[in-house]
Amino acid sequence: MMVVFKLLIILSLISIINCKEQLYQRYRSPFPYYSKKHVDRKQQEQEQHFVSNDPPPPPPPYQELFFLQTLDHFNFQSKGEFAQRYLVSDVYWKKPSPNDKVCQGPILFYTGNEGDITLFYDNSQFVTNVLAQEMNALLIFAEHRYYGESLPFGNDSWTSDNIGYLTSEQALADYAQLIPAVLSEMGAEHCPVLSVGGSYGGMLTAWFRMKYPNIVDGALAASAPILSFLNTGVNPETFNKIATDDFKDTSSEGTCASRIRSALNDIVTISTQSNGLAQLSKTFSVCGAPLTDVNDLINWIESALTYMAMADYPYPANFLEPMPGYPINVSCSALAQQQDDIQGLLEVLHVYYNYTGQAGTCYNMSVFTTGALGDASWDYQACTEMVMPVSSDGVNDFFPPSPFSLSDLTQQCQQQFQTTPDPYWITTYYGGSNFSATNIIFSNGVLDVWRSGGILETRSDSIVALTIEGGAHHLDLRYPNPLDPPSVTQAREIESKLLQLWASEASLLKQRK
């Protein structure tokens, strides 16, 4: 019997249906969930590996605080509060004295995304070390509800009774409630507020400025795919086309990409032969029992390839897995040394999954990033309002074809959460491509797969799109590095100038009487 399979990639939410009509669930965050364990391990790894010539300074010290937050901002019948974590650093802050009419020290507020807030604090050093210093700003990083330590019901937060308070609308309302309270406590009510975020955090930051212009005066939304939804005119296939192009562009005639495509085709062919799965399990050093479904292997390979495109930074970094600078170039050079396509693909995978020997002796097909495991929060968001379709056509990208199917997604979500995703609510609520706002910078890296859903064109003096040639996923938020492409240095300069302009305009409007 021929194996017929269909791959559905919904962001990182992957479902597979094979001929046995078996429905698998494979939820991965596109912007992976960062558990506490993940953060600790990353910090250790960062110390062990990649001692660079120019180590960035540590991020400035912060205070960890908790805010008594309203559980449900949209239902007066519902009572309840929870402790929301936020980090504050006033190392560079020009705190207003009681007599200052105009505030000289703006607030840089990070709209926490789907993970432990300390990880975003540690990986946004353009904000914490550079912008904060240039602007004499107060740093506030707020944790997103249902992530890190901001769990409204502790370990019971994921039950069907309790998880319903997890939405982007509630998260933004948290931020809108937290900021005035904290500023009032600090005598900074008249200080301008600029918000910053990357990835889903960048989407939140853009939406925050759109929905709460009374709270936030300007925003830097880095790699924010606010158009990666249905009904925005974005082709869900572009995501995988960008990943493929990144591999294509490292070699003459695109041989790296075409050989990866051949290797994937070979894998599918081998899997249909008797003993094929056993053979593949051996070739790919699969942990434990041999593969029972080739899709497990293909998912694992696809994750590596798209995550490498997301994290194709110019210098060694440890964003999803520890990798060398320009990992796609490094992996394509290694592939070119191999005659056999599958052996070549193994070299590519090695750069992602095992560059520092982190994989151990075998590869676990359900592990896609170091330590980022098993949290249901993003899965739930992806099964409600955050439906961000990704598909492949096998022509413009090197993956086996896999169209997006809303009905399959719905079936999965009903199984896991008893939810029916609403793919149109986000664009209805936030405006999709037709949003109306001022004072937002949208930055996107050309190498980044999430550029596919970004705002790529400047719309006015104050809705500004920056395209970063040679840049991956929110490279601009990282600490400046001598290996940075000139485009990111330029983007950071524009970001700094615009944010300072918006802060000074707002500080005049907000001055004390």
Ligand X SMILES: *[C@@H]1O[C@H](CO)[C@@H](O)[C@H](O)[C@H]1NC(C)=O
**What are the catalytic residues?**
199, 448, 473
Q: Least distance in Å: CB of 468 to ligand X? A: 15
Contact 182, 88 (CB under 8 A): yes
Stretch that binds ligand X, among 79-87, 206-214, 292-300, 358-366 (CB under 6 A): 358-366
Tell whether residue 326 is a contact of ligand X (CB under 6 A): yes
Q: Is 37 helix (H, G, I), strand (E, B) or coil?
A: helix
- Residue of 67, 165, 300, 363 that binds ligand X (CB under 6 A): 363
Calpha distance 197→85 (Å, rounded)? 17
Structure tokens at 297: 């292997």
Stretch that binds ligand X, among 75-83, 366-374, 398-406, 474-482 (CB under 6 A): 366-374
Q: Which residue number, 108 or 330, has a Cβ lying nearer to ligand X?
A: 330
Tell whether residue 432 is a contact of ligand X (CB under 6 A): yes
Q: Least distance in Å: CB of 346 to ligand X? A: 8
Q: Least distance in Å: CB of 317 to ligand X? A: 13
| Best CA proximity match to 308, nearest among 252, 357, 251, 244 | 244
Q: Least distance in Å: CB of 309 to ligand X? A: 13
Tell whether residue 354 is a contact of ligand X (CB under 6 A): yes
User: HEC profile for 444-463?
Assistant: EECCCHHHHHCCCCCCECCE
Tell whether residue 482 is a contact of ligand X (CB under 6 A): no
Tell whether residue 200 is a contact of ligand X (CB under 6 A): no
Q: Strand 138-142 relative to strand 107-111: parallel, antiparallel, unpaired?
A: parallel
- Residue of 23, 68, 362, 508 that binds ligand X (CB under 6 A): 362
Give the H or E element holding residue 484.
none
Calpha distance 244→241 (Å, rounded)? 5
Q: Strand 317-318 relative to strand 322-323: parallel, antiparallel, unpaired?
A: antiparallel
Residue closest to ligand X, measured at CB:
288
Stretch that binds ligand X, among 132-140, 142-150, 430-438, 496-504 (CB under 6 A): 430-438
How many CA atoms within 13 Å lie on the side-chain side of 28?
Answer: 27
Q: Least distance in Å: CB of 308 to ligand X? A: 13
How many CA atoms within 13 Å lie on the side-chain side of 93?
Answer: 25
Q: Which residue number, 214 or 434, has a Cβ lying nearer to ligand X?
A: 434
Q: Which residue number, 189 or 422, has a Cβ lying nearer to ligand X?
A: 422
| Strands laid side by side in the 26-27 sheet | 6-10, 13-17, 26-27
Q: Please, which residues have CB within 8 angstroms of residue 275's CB and are 6 or more apart in sequence?
A: none
Q: Least distance in Å: CB of 53 to ligand X? A: 16
Tell whether residue 159 is a contact of ligand X (CB under 6 A): no
Calpha distance 8→411 (Å, rounded)? 12
Using CB under 6 A as the binding rule, the residues of this chain from 220 to 239 that contact ligand X are: 231-232
> Using CB under 6 A as the criterion, which residues of the chain lie in contact with ligand X when the complex forms?
154-155, 231-232, 249-250, 285, 287-288, 326, 329, 354, 357, 359, 361-364, 366-367, 373, 427, 432-434
